[in-house]
Every structure is written in C-alpha cells, then in structure tokens.
Amino acid sequence: MNVAEVRRKYIEFFLGKGHAHVPPASLIPENDPTVLFTTAGMHPLVPYLLGEKHPAGTRLTSYQKCIRTGDIDDVGDADHLTFFEMLGNWSLGDYFKREAIEFSWEFLTSPAWLGIDPERLAITVFGGDDEVPADEEAEALWRAHGIPAERIFHLGREHNWWGPAGKTGPCGPDTEMFFIRDIAPCGPDCSPACKCPRYCEIWNDVFMQYNKQADGSYAPLQMKCVDTGMGTVRTAAVLQGKATVYETEVYQPLMDAIAARAHPEALTLRIQRILADHITASAFIIADGVEPSNLEAGYVLRRLIRRMVRFGRKVGIPAGFTPELAGVVIGIHADAYPELEHNRERIFAELKGEEEQFTETLGRGLREFEKAFAGVQKGRERGGRSVFPGRRAFELYSTWGFPPELTQELVEEQGLEWDQPGYDEAFKKHQEASTVEAGKFKSGLQDHSAQTVRLHTATHMLQAALRRVLGRHVLQKGSNITPERLRFDFAHGEKMTPEEIAETERIVNEKIAADLPVEVREMTLGEAKDAGAIGVFGDRYGERVKVYRIGDYSMELCGGPHVRRTGELGRFRILKEEASSKGVRRIRATVDPPAAPEAREGEAPA
C-alpha cells in the first residue's frame, strides 16, 4: 500500500465514522509566537481542544504537513525527519476512549483497511504515578480486542502522557500502537521504551481527561477530548516491509536523483538522506510564504538550504542542484499539496538565489577561518591554549553563514581543540535574540489573557485601517501576538509615510472610542466570501468558518478569541513600521491598558 493509498483510506474511514474532513493548515502557525512551525496535526486545532467551538463540528479528521526543527542535526539516520505528514482524527467533547480505541483497532487490523496482523501489534498505556492513576480503562479496552497482557506495556510520563500547553490546562494519558518488526529482541527487557528497531510506533491516541490546576493537582475535565496522530509515510513503510521511510516511493525518486548527481565514491547514505529530507522541507516551507533570512522561520529555512549546499559540495554535486531536486519534490507531493505546484517558480527562485549566495559565502568563510586560525596560532606560539574559540566559530556561522560542522572539521584537521561549550553558549544567545525556539508547543494565542485578546482584536482593526489609508491591496501576510505587542505583516510595496502612519493610528483609535460591538457568526465559506469577509480564501479553511464583524468597520475570517466591544481596548499606538520582505511591510503596535470605566466617563476614580 503506497502513501497516497494510506492517506486516502484514513480519511475515507473517518468520514464513514461521522468525521468532517479539515483541510491541511499552513506550516506557519497564526498568532502563535511560541513555535515557528506547525509541529503536529493537532497544532492548528488546539484552540478547539481547549474549548473553542469548531465550525465543522465535534468530529474531525485531516492530513497535515508538519515541520520539527529540534533534531535537524540527527537527520540522516533511519528515523529522524524535518518534514513529515500526520494523519489525525479528533473528538471535541464527543466520543472518548472506547470509540477511539475501537476506531484504531478497526482501521489497523480490518482487511478492508490496513489489514495488519493483530499478532504484529504491541500497545503502550500510561502506567500511572503519584499524581495520576494508571490508565486501566485503556488497557481493558485493548484486552477486549484481543491484545494479550504480554504485548501491553505500562510506561511513564516520558512515553505516555500529553502535558498541558502551558503550566496549566487540559492534559491526559495516551496509548500508542507499535508494529513489531521481524527483528530479535534487544534483550530480556525489550519493549517500545528501549527504542530499538524491533518496535515501530505508527499511531498515538491522546485522551485529554484532566485539567492541571495552578497548585499542580489534576481535576477531571468536563469536556473530554481525543487527539490522535498517525505518521503517513512511516505507516506506509511498515506496510511495504521497508526498513525506513527513505525506501518508500515518496523518497526513493529523490534518493535516486541525488545519487545520479553525486560522485559515487563520496556519497554516503547519511548525506543522501539529509539532502532528501532538507529539500522536501525547504520546498514546503517556501510554498507557505517563508523566505530565507536570519530570523525565525526564515532562519530555519536558510539553515536547511545551506546544509544542503555544503553537503552537495562535499559529495561533488554540481552547482544549481537545489531547484532540480525541488522539481522532484513537487512531482511527488503536488497531488496532495497543490500549493507546491502553484508556487513552483517561487520555490525555484528562492532556492537558486540562496544556493548562489551561499556558494560565494563558502569562499569568504574559508578566508575568515584562515584569519581566525592565524590568531589562534599566534596565541599558541606564546604558550596559549590550542583551542579554537566557540564564540569565533559561531561568528563565522552567524555572520558569514559558514557551517559549524565545516569549521569543526577544519579545526580538528589543524590539530586544535573544538570549543563546543563556547559555541553552544553563543548559539543559545542567538536563539534567544532571534526567537528560534524548537520543540516548544502551545497553540492559539500565546495565552488568553485580557491584554493578548485585546491585541488580537486590534490586529483586525489595524488591517481595516490600513486598507482605508493605503488601499484594498493590503492583505495580511502574517501576524505574531504576545501580551506586550502585536506584529502585523501586510502586502504593500512602499514605506509608509509619517502621515499615513498617523492616519492609520487615528482611525483605529476612533473606532475604539466608538465602542463598536464585536460579533461572531458561523457561515459557509461561500457565504463569507459573498458577505465581503477578508481572509485567505482557499484550502486552509473548511466548509464552515467563523466570521468576526466589528460594527460596520471590519469583517474577517478568524478563530478568535476577541473582546466583546472595541471600547475594551486602550489607546492604540504604532511602535514601528519597517520592511519585512520584498513587497511586504511590517508594523509593530500595542494598546495601552484601558482606563477604568469611571475615568472614561470623566468621573474621578473611587
């Protein structure tokens, strides 16, 4: 069964179980400053798992493209990927453990679906601890389906617990399904916890049944939810009897294309896998609007492309190879993700430009390395340490784009010590400055505090004002909201004048003073479009959407939350207007905390 068949069958199965198909979301999360990319199929749905009403109902299913950046350095082995696809189904206060496990069992084992031999399945459940009891219900349900006790493993929080998005909030145990490969146990205690290749995880059912309190205790949730995830390509690899995802039809054409361009004696399997993974991730990231840069998502994209160029050069691949490989990626994935084909020329242009720029950078970086090395040599001749400073190595990377792996190789070739702690410290400071945070995961707005919600509403009001001042071509290209400020990217080709900035500010504050009502309606996508709602109409939305109207001033597609009336906002102030990328401007703004009601009415505070 190939990847497309696994995807099709999964969606078809859950449609038959009363689920609505939710289209894939962008890789770039909206209004979430805590993570750079969509990291799991559940990521776009967390606001609804936390209580927001989803327009499509209480049973959902989707396939979702995902990026995880925490393990980029590990890509190249049999397991790690930067880009992957997740299949998922969700219950928002509808069914719970019994149905979720029943669905999982039927889809995995029924000959009408995946037809996996039940004897090849192992299960893990939460084993309990001092704070939360073991998930005996999930174990009993699996036993009822015929899984014997010796193939049900009780594991702790590290393996079978889904924590809250923040310090408090919904959380709960999960149960995971593993395919048992024809590989001998690694020892007498071999289990899914030992991470040996005998057990391959293919599905995860999360049961959100607790609410973690501020005091650290766990209270039962009134609305219990289910969140599940299955790796599409990994499951297909299991069904095809492949040892790794790189042997499936979604990677093998790339592996072949890389082998055809490289010097055979220089190419290793690790480098081949790195190039296949990184070009796939890069093409998808660019298709969702990201450009290479030194900040945030653009920083990750730049790192991926530059690692490709470095490894391509190392194995003798001729210059200009990244657009060629991207063409292979588009051919593989465009049926499921048409945005790749729609953005073909843009993907090629960004890859070509970054590859050409970094090819020049490699030459400059080598010259800078020689200068730094000469300084270390002089110090060594005067009795100093034979250490190449990690801070200097990171400067070569951050300033010249010179890969630290290459710096380390050169350092060791010259008989010097590599200062990993110094490099890590410099890199950590850079991460903090550029907000490149891998692996952290909360969703929706950063929080639902009153100030963050005010800023979210102010973002809508800002866009409406910009369209009045600059023209109807203004459309949102991205946003980022924290409790301190909003950041809004919009399509506009010229720097705003001081007069335009002042007029935009004036309009927003005028509408705040008018205390306009903020109302939400559910409607079909077509109805929203006909009504004049602003939004990126396309595959990112389902059939039914939420439309927020601010009086007769603004109407946009959005998931919320918002204030009830604009008078709840304080004074709106634009802090900065600047370029974000070609044809895109960026505004940073804030709203002052609103005055007390008495002060707004002109009365002395009590």
In whole angstroms, give the CA distance from residue 510 to residue 293.
37
pLDDT at 86: 94
b/e 556-567 (16+ beta carbons within 10 angstroms → b): bbbbbbbbebbb
pLDDT at 504: 96
Least confident of 175-189, 228-242, 395-409, 412-426: 395-409
More confident residue, 217 or 17: 17
> pTM for this structure?
0.68
Q: Residue 502 contacts by C-beta under 8 Å, 6 or more apart in sequence? A: none
Span 225-236, average pLDDT: 93
CB contact at 8 A, 39 and 85: no
Burial of 111 (0-12, 13-18, 19+ CB in 10 A): exposed
CB contact at 8 A, 164 and 170: yes
Count H helices and E strands in the chain, helices first: 19, 18
CB contact at 8 A, 488 and 589: yes
Span 419-433, average pLDDT: 77
Span 584-605, average pLDDT: 64
294 — pLDDT class (breaks 50, 70, 90): low
Task: Give the pLDDT confidence of 553-572 residue by residue, as tens digits.
Answer: 998 888 767 888 999 898 99
In whole angstroms, give the CA distance from residue 11 to residue 62.
7
Span 500-505, average pLDDT: 95
Domains 3-242 and 450-600 share a fold: no
Task: Give the pLDDT confidence of 98-142 residue by residue, as tens digits.
Answer: 999 999 999 999 999 999 999 999 999 999 998 899 999 999 999
Position 284 pLDDT exceeds 70? yes
Position 380 pLDDT exceeds 70? no
Span 187-196, average pLDDT: 88
pLDDT at 362: 73
271 — pLDDT class (breaks 50, 70, 90): very high
> Best-predicted range by mean pLDDT among 123-127, 448-452, 529-533, 540-544?
123-127
Position 603 pLDDT exceeds 50? no
306 — pLDDT class (breaks 50, 70, 90): confident
DSSP strand pairing (387-388 vs 417-418): parallel
> Best-predicted range by mean pLDDT among 159-173, 436-450, 530-544?
159-173
At the topology level, CATH places domain 450-600 in Threonyl-tRNA Synthetase; Chain A, domain 2 (3.30.980)
In whole angstroms, give the CA distance from residue 251 to residue 259.
12
Residue-range domain boundaries for the chain:
3-242, 252-434, 450-600
pLDDT at 599: 37
CATH of 3-242, picked from 3.30.43.10, 3.30.930.10, 3.65.10.10, 3.55.50.30, is 3.30.930.10
State the chain's mean pLDDT as an integer.
86
pLDDT at 589: 93
More confident residue, 169 or 56: 56
CB contact at 8 A, 373 and 381: no
More confident residue, 592 or 268: 268
Span 426-453, average pLDDT: 56
In whole angstroms, give the CA distance from residue 403 to residue 410.
11
Which H or E run includes 502?
helix 498-513
Strand partners, 544: 524
List Cα–Cα distances, 137 to 127, 133, 144, 156, 192, in angstroms: 11, 11, 11, 16, 20
More confident residue, 235 or 484: 235
DSSP line for 464-498: HHHHHHT-TT--EEEEEE-SS-EEEEEE-SSPPPH
pLDDT at 363: 72
More confident residue, 337 or 410: 337
295 — pLDDT class (breaks 50, 70, 90): confident
Report the candidate in 242, 307, 252, 302 with the shortest Cα–Cα distance to residue 274.
Answer: 307
Span 236-250, average pLDDT: 94
33 — pLDDT class (breaks 50, 70, 90): low
> What is residue 370's three-state secondary structure?
helix
CB contact at 8 A, 49 and 170: yes
Strand partners, 574: 589
End-to-end CA distance of the chain: give it in Å, rounded. Answer: 72
pLDDT at 438: 34
Report the candidate in 363, 360, 413, 362 with the shortest Cα–Cα distance to residue 388.
Answer: 413
Alpha helices in 315-343 (DSSP H): 321-333, 339-342
